[in-house]
């Protein structure tokens, strides 16, 4: 069985990318990552970023710059085309999932975006935080989006989806597996406000989470740190090696 490639969300290294994006990309390639997920270009054109990434032996399989619902759709389309992507990222704040009426408006917006992207051969994927996985009348808010927005895809942030222990993240992944090409892989103590930990050292059952994905749909495992209280480079590299050593993902071939 082919293992999913291991990517890293560059937001994790934001304190470094803002000053030296080329150096960060080169170092990630040297570690062995197969891909990166950009979060800001810091004055570089997307085509130049793509060249940096490919020169380092990696690919851009997904990008968080720009999010389709937070800027001009033309910019999102142009960026996707520069990276030769067929997907564009989106995501919503807490207010968009506050109640049934808010979720209905969110679904309308998602369907509008999907329709605008389709003529360009692009699909929208949604990245989540915790609030999408609060329950409303017994159902996760994101499940309502999946039901009412048949064309949207998902990038399940597995740590946020656990909602600080309220949910089984493997169950979440399993529920969205047929429409989830990307998983954000992170670990921690599942206490709100706490920093993330090196993947494999916290309370997340990482093997179970990844096993719940559909291998025919999954395109990448994306390591991310929202916050890290230890050396971020050591944490990123150790997380990469954990996934490789456990046979859960692969780096550069």
- What's the CATH number where 183 sits? 3.20.20.150
User: Is the pLDDT reported for residue 160 higher than 90?
Assistant: yes
Question: Is 147 a member of any domain?
Answer: no
Q: Does residue 111 sit within a domain?
A: no
pLDDT of residue 150 exceeding 80, the answer is yes
User: If you average pLDDT over residues 71-83, what whole number do you get?
Assistant: 95
Under the banding of pLDDT at 50, 70 and 90, the label for residue 253 is confident
What's the whole-number mean pLDDT along residues 100-123?
98
pLDDT band per the 50, 70, 90 thresholds, residue 111: very high
> Which of 111, 97, 94 has the alpha carbon at shortest distance from 147?
111
Average pLDDT over residues 63-70: 94
Where does residue 142 rank: exposed (0-12), middle (13-18), buried (19+ CB within 10 A)?
buried
Q: 37: pLDDT confidence band, cut at 50, 70 and 90?
A: very high
Q: Is residue 105 part of a domain?
A: no
Share of the chain above pLDDT 90, in %: 98
Q: HSE on the CB side for 100, CA within 13 Å?
A: 4
- Give domain status of residue 101, yes or no: no
Q: What is the pLDDT of residue 77?
A: 97
| 106 in a structural domain | no
- What is the reported pLDDT for 71? 84
92, 117 in Cβ contact below 8 A? no
Q: pLDDT tier at 19 (50, 70, 90 boundaries)? A: very high
Q: What is the pLDDT of residue 25?
A: 98
With respect to residue 95, please indicate whether it lies within any of the assigned structural domains.
no
**183 pLDDT above the threshold of 80:** yes
Longest CA span, the chain: 50
Give the mean model confidence (pLDDT) for residues 44-60.
Answer: 98
Please check the confidence at residue 1 and state whether its pLDDT lies above 80.
no
Domain of residue 225 covers: 6-84+152-245
Query: What's the structural domain count of the chain?
Result: 1
How does the average pLDDT of the chain come out, rounded? 97
Give the whole-angstrom CA distance, residue 232 versus residue 12: 8
- Segment 144-150 shows an average pLDDT of 98
Residue 196: the pLDDT is 98
pLDDT of residue 6: 98
Residue 14: φ, ψ to 5° = -60, -30
Domain-embedded: residue 231: yes
For 169-198, what is the mean pLDDT? 98
In a domain, 36, yes or no: yes
pLDDT reading at 225 higher than 80: yes
């Amino acid at each position: 069985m082919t293992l999913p490639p291991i990517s890293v969300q560059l937001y994790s290294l934001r304190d470094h990318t803002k000053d030296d994006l080329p150096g960060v990309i080169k170092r990630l390639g040297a570690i062995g990552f197969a891909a990166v997920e950009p979060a800001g270009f810091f004055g570089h054109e997307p085509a130049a970023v793509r060249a940096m990434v490919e020169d380092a032996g990696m690919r851009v399989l997904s990008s968080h710059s720009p999010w389709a619902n937070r800027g001009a759709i033309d910019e999102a389309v142009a960026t996707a085309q520069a990276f030769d992507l067929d997907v564009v990222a989106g995501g919503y704040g807490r207010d968009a999932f506050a109640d049934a009426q808010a979720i209905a408006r969110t679904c309308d917006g998602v369907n509008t975006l999907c329709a605008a992207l389709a003529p360009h051969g692009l699909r929208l994927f949604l990245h989540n935080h915790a609030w999408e996985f609060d329950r409303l009348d017994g159902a996760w808010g994101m499940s309502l989006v999946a039901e009412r927005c048949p064309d949207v895809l998902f990038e399940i942030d597995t740590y946020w989806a656990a909602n600080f222990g309220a949910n089984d993240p493997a169950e979440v992944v399993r529920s969205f597996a047929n429409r989830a090409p990307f998983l954000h892989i992170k670990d921690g103590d599942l206490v709100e406000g706490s920093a993330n930990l090196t993947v494999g050292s916290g309370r997340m059952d990482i093997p179970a989470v990844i096993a719940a994905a559909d291998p025919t749909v999954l395109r990448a495992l994306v390591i991310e740190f929202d916050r890290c209280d230890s050396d971020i480079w050591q944490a990123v590299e150790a997380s990469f090696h954990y996934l490789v050593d456990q046979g859960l993902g692969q780096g550069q071939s």
